[in-house]
A and B are shown apart, each in its own frame.
Chain A
């Protein structure tokens, strides 16, 4: 049994085929694909490291203070400006009184003339 195995292994040995290992040029296309993978990986790593740098950005206390002040001042001016706008609108509405409109005035004159004619 052992002899049989050894015999067949010997007959099936790869050297019996008389072949040589094919050179790398046979798989040049596959090799290029591996290299492309590396380029792609490097690009991904660059993006990732950039994101990591942003996330790791260290903020000092005075920077935080200045930023808070600037944001505060900005909010103050924006709210003040919107208050001013509201006041102007109120005044404009007071001026635009429907009773002071020309059509209403005409109607009042027409009624006055009509009643005086009747009388």
Chain B
């Protein structure tokens, strides 16, 4: 039977390198993907961030609270690593005012699914994401790349669920605006 992530962390704290390898195999790819998107597609910086994160895990595995979910904890740590990189590299962009959460935005999906040039859309989506403030971009990535729930994202970002909903709504609105050329209505 496979060990859980939490069990692997316990073994890492006991100095078991094989547990560390297993954890790395489980999370390295998706964390690298998260870092790549969070750090504006700077792949070298993303690899450095991944290295930093696993170094922190190796140095202080006791910082992980076993009562907590490992998946939430590791993304919370990854989020902190990103913030540090942003601070050092001064890539923080001016944060926009948050708008209140009124419900989900409406994107004409039928059109996208049928006629969209997928590659071009993806490119523009990534560009639009890069222009977003870090915390809003993170909410979007965690929601749609990592498929986290609002509750989990709130735990990762350490803020109320209402703020997460608001950030997500704002992001969808901005993306809708930036990608409206793909919408036949406009």
Contact = CB atoms under 8 A, between A and B. Distances in A.
Contact of A26 (B16, B47, B59, B145): B47
Interface in A1-39: 1, 3-5, 7-9, 11-14, 16-17, 19-22, 24, 26-27, 29-31, 33-39
A41 interface: yes
A51 interface: no
Chain B's interface: helix, strand, loop or mixed, by majority?
Answer: helix
Contacts of B37: 17
A71 interface: no
Contact of B113 (A5, A7, A29): A7
B29 A14 contact: yes
A92 B15 CA distance: 72
B174 interface: no
Interface stretch (B50-58, B69-77, B84-92): B50-58
Q: Chain A's interface: helix, strand, loop or mixed, by majority?
A: helix
A55 interface: no
B28 A22 contact: yes
Given A21-B25, A38-B15, A12 B145 contact: yes
A22 B50 contact: yes
Nearest to A38: B15
Interface string B130-142: 0000000000110
A40 interface: yes
Given A1-B104, A29-B51, A33-B55, 13 more contacts: A7-B113, A9-B147, A11-B118, A12-B145, A14-B33, A19-B33, A21-B29, A22-B28, A27-B54, A30-B57, A33-B58, A33-B59, A35-B17
Nearest to B59: A33
A34 B12 contact: yes
A38 B20 CA distance: 12
